[in-house]
Structure 1
Amino acid sequence: MAADAVPNGHAAADAPPPSSSSLVFLGTGCSSAVPNARCLIQPPDPPCPVCSQSLSVPPELNPNYRCNTSLLIDYCRDEGAHKYIIIDVGKTFREQVLRWFVRHKIPCVDSILLTHEHADAILGLDDIRVVQAFSPTNDIDPTPIYLSQFAMDSISLKFPYLVKKKLKEGEEVRRVAQLDWRIIESDLQKPFTTSGLEFVPLPVISSTGFSFILFCYAFFLILYSYQVIHGEDYICLGFLFGRKSKVAYISDVSRFPPSTEYAISKSGGGQLDLLILDCLYRTGSHNVHLCWDQTLDAVKRICPKRALLIGMTHEMDHDKDNQTLEEWSRREGIYAQLARDGLRVYIDL
């Protein structure tokens, strides 16, 4: 496995070897992305160094410029054909396409996987049409999109025009993304295959509280039976994939169910070649995400060969904190670094 690099550690734009698979980090930031707009329109005293940097360093040269967390899998099949699979399409998807699809010469998206139905994972769905073939009559093959039933129910309310329905008499065809919605179960024993690559869904706990669907359900119960639902755990999906090299991608997590941690740990299902894991804050903790200390504790328990951290806020300074992680890596014997937008990692899948 190798990460491409140029001076200062920024992602290179070279085309990959024709027979190589790779992972492209389209986004490595939190839901609000980095820079945090508040730091720029209401500057703190002293100014936030990470956000201030965005005013003087172009985003493509700034490892602290982070879009919503998203991963593109460039899967080179045995016959040499490339398939492009993306995990999550958040609020910054269009920007990621313009910056990284162009730079890395990604022509399309063949399949989509969604971890959950929050804004930073799905609000780019409307822009999927820009990575599909153009047809004024929408006469194209829809892109398979894999998600949980819970996410499907929520998206049907948020994007009803993206959920295929028969046209009413006299209704005109609209140019929208064409999507083939496929429900997956959050069951480790039920993998699925898309674009030739097998994925194992990894259910993890991401938050506690109401989503929009649960709110509607609770309101229904209040009206009709005076009962409410409190403190429902929110299940988010990660994904395990790769036959030759094992990769686990877990972007939104606060704790692991025992079965999930066993499946991806060296002492359980076998050592991962790469763990891509949530890491929100540099200090303290958060009720819906792992933060620095909790993330590194999880990396030690799971014990992959390599870990790349994602989902960071503006508390994280890429170069400074990676120096700290280099010391941690030498001490613990596990390579760990913050990922960055545009990073391309070549890996044999």
Structure 2
Amino acid sequence: MRLTFLGTGTSFGVPQVGCECAVCTSTDPRDRRTRCGVVIEAANGTRLLVDTPPELRLQLVAVGIATVDAVLFTHEHADHIHGIDDLRAITIRRGAPLPFYAEPPTFATLQARFPYIFDAAFRPLPGTTRPEGVLHPITPGTAFRVNGTSVLPIAVPHGRASVVGFRVGNLAYITDAKTLPDEALASLVGVQVLVLNALLRTPHPTHLSIAEAVDMAQRVGAARTYFTHLTHDNFHAQLAAELPPGIAPAHDGLVVDLPEP
């Protein structure tokens, strides 16, 4: 199994527009963070894209990924869905719509903001294209399969939004969580690689802080934990040096390989 980080930044991205702080002007490429998304590739070759961040086209080009088999949406916030139109380049070559998996509230937002994708009556003009997707509603705690690959949605709290993380085999990807409830922790038993959001050094009402994320990571006990959804509060190198063994900040373009369960 392979995990590819497309983006690891907060909703502002890093560098942040108009900011001249030391991190935003850093020359370390690991300090440049686009909005969050990953691709999970199972041993059978199935590729799962998690979220469609605004920089999706640039992210996929940067890592050399040209095809995916399905899209999993964590939630409806703009930094996780507003790159959806970039899927045109993938669906036009598929000859068939992409399966989209999300909770009903996320689908409602997608349909409201991007009706041209989901309205069966809409037909693009000759010579033009649109992304093609088929909606598949999911329920936290109930696994579903994509081309034989089992995916478990895991509910996590994030303010007013309904948010899910995903477990695929020994890998779990969770972003935009304020905490990991007991039910989520139970769903994460045995994971070898955990991805977890770690927003700021100070508490935040809807996101794990770095200290809170460390605590949750240690409670899960994965062999490797990678922090994502990072802000311009932290240099990559400095944060990496501070974190406990087995926990590290992710960066855009990072590839993590792990054995199948």
Range class of TM-score, shorter chain: over 0.9
1:88 pairs with 2:51: yes
1:252, CA displacement in angstroms? 0.9
Partner of 2:22: 49
**Structure 1 unaligned blocks of 5 or more:** 1-20, 209-233, 265-269, 330-334
Q: Is the contact made by 1:109 and 1:132 (CA closer than 8 Å) also made in structure 2? A: no
Residues in 2 aligned to 1:314 and 1:239: alpha-carbon distance in whole angstroms: 26
Q: How does 1:185-334 map to 2 (within 5 A)?
A: 185-186=139-140, 188=141, 190-208=142-160, 234-242=161-169, 246-264=170-188, 270-281=189-200, 283-325=201-243, 328-329=244-245
| Deviation string, structure 1 residues 117-169 (Cα, Å, up to 9, x no partner) | 1111100111101223449xxxx21011101101111111100001141258x
Q: 1:152 aligns with which of 107, 114, 117?
A: 107
Classify the secondary structure of the residue corresponding to 2:202: coil
Q: Distance in 1 between matches of 2:43 and 2:81?
A: 26
Q: For residue 11 of structure 1, what is the aligned residue in structure 2?
A: none
Judged with a 3 Å threshold, the aligned counterparts in structure 2 of structure 1 residues 134 and 51 are, in CA distance, closer, same or farther, namely same
Partners of 2:130 and 2:12 in 1: CA distance: 26
- The 8 Å contact of residues 27 and 68 in structure 1, kept in 2 or not, is answered as yes
CA RMSD of aligned residues (A): 1.7
User: 4+ runs of 1 displaced by more than 4 Å?
Assistant: none
Tell me what 2:138 maps to. 184
CA distance in 2, matches of 1:63, 1:306: 19
- Distance in structure 2 (CA, Å) of the matches to 1:131 and 1:98: 12
Instruction: Kindly indicate whether the alpha-carbon contact (under 8 Å) linking 2:105 and 2:162 is maintained by their aligned counterparts in 1.
Output: no
Question: Quick check: 1:279–1:309 contact (8 Å CA) kept in 2?
Answer: yes
Q: Distance in 2 between matches of 1:164 and 1:278?
A: 34
Q: Structure 1 residues 273, 134: closer, same or farther in 2, change over 3 A? A: closer
Superposed CA deviations along residues 242-267 of structure 1, whole A, max 9, x for unmatched, are: 1xxx1111011002232112221xxx
Identity of aligned residues (%): 27
Q: After superposition, what is the alpha-carbon deviation per residue over 1:159-183, rounded to whole angstroms, capped at 9, x for unaligned?
A: 0001141258xx8465101111111
Q: Once the two structures are superposed, what CA deviation does each residue of 1:234-285 show, in whole Å capped at 9, x if it has no partner? A: 320001111xxx1111011002232112221xxxxx322011001011x211
Correspondence for 2:120 among 165, 180, 188? 165
| Number of residue pairs the alignment of both structures matches | 259
Distance of 1:134 and 1:155 partners within structure 2: 22
Gap regions ≥5 residues in structure 2: none
- From the CA coordinates, give the structure whose radius of gyration is larger: 1
